[in-house]
Structure 1
Amino acid sequence: MEQRKLAALTDKELLVEAKKMKSTKIYDAALFGLLVGIAIYSSLVNGFGLLTFLPLVYLPIAGKNKAKARDLKQILKERNLSEG
């Protein structure tokens, strides 16, 4: 479904979306790193608890973002557009 939405965008809109996806990768990595740090700290201080499994909550969101980036990259390739 997401690929159909992306396919309906114009070339200019796709390039703008590609720029957004670059920053999304950085945000996903930073947020996941932060969550892992919180989980490790929480485990060391309080033992296993709710915060220990906090990074697992974010994994589906990061996976969805990665799938969207993959679809976007494929559409850019089909239209012979450059990401950068």
Structure 2
Amino acid sequence: MKDKEPSEFTAKEFLEAGKKLKYNLIINAALIGFLIGIIIYSVIKNSVGFLMLIPLFLAYKLIKNSQKNKK
């Protein structure tokens, strides 16, 4: 399904898209915060290790995805 241009949206579609975007931003922010917490805990307990890269990579992907959604 192709994305519509903003000029092709109806008022109802704008409201639905806004609600969906707001929900996605809140979920992304919570996940990013959780992953940052894991990274901080990992640094305090075990110092920097290979397993710390996994949450760091996931946080990076979530940040890039949220920037794409804003457009």
TM-score clears 0.5: yes
**Residue identity (%):** 30
Output the CA distance in 1 between the equivalents of 2:4 and 2:67: 14
Kept after mapping to 2: 8 A contact 1:39/1:51: no
- Closer/same/farther in 2, CA of residues 52 and 35 from structure 1, 3 Å limit: same
Kept after mapping to 2: 8 A contact 1:32/1:55: no
Of the two structures, which has the highest relative contact order with CA contacts closer than 8 Å and spacing of 6 or more? 1
Q: Which runs of 5+ in 2 are unaligned?
A: none
Output the CA distance in 1 between the equivalents of 2:14 and 2:56: 30
Output the CA distance in 1 between the equivalents of 2:19 and 2:35: 25
Paired position in structure 1 for 2:60: 59
Mean alpha-carbon deviation: is it higher for 45-54 or for 33-42?
45-54
User: What TM-score do the two structures reach when normalised by structure 1?
Assistant: 0.61
Output the CA distance in 2 between the equivalents of 1:21 and 1:51: 31
Give 4+ residue runs of structure 1 displaced > 3 Å after superposition: none
Kept after mapping to 1: 8 A contact 2:32/2:62: no
How far off is 1:16 after superposition?
Answer: 0.5
User: What TM-score do the two structures reach when normalised by structure 2?
Assistant: 0.69
Output the CA distance in 2 between the equivalents of 1:40 and 1:59: 15
Give the partner amino acid of 1:36.
Answer: I
Q: Which runs of 5+ in 1 are unaligned?
A: 71-84
Root-mean-square deviation (CA, aligned residues, Å) is 2.3
Aligned residues: 67
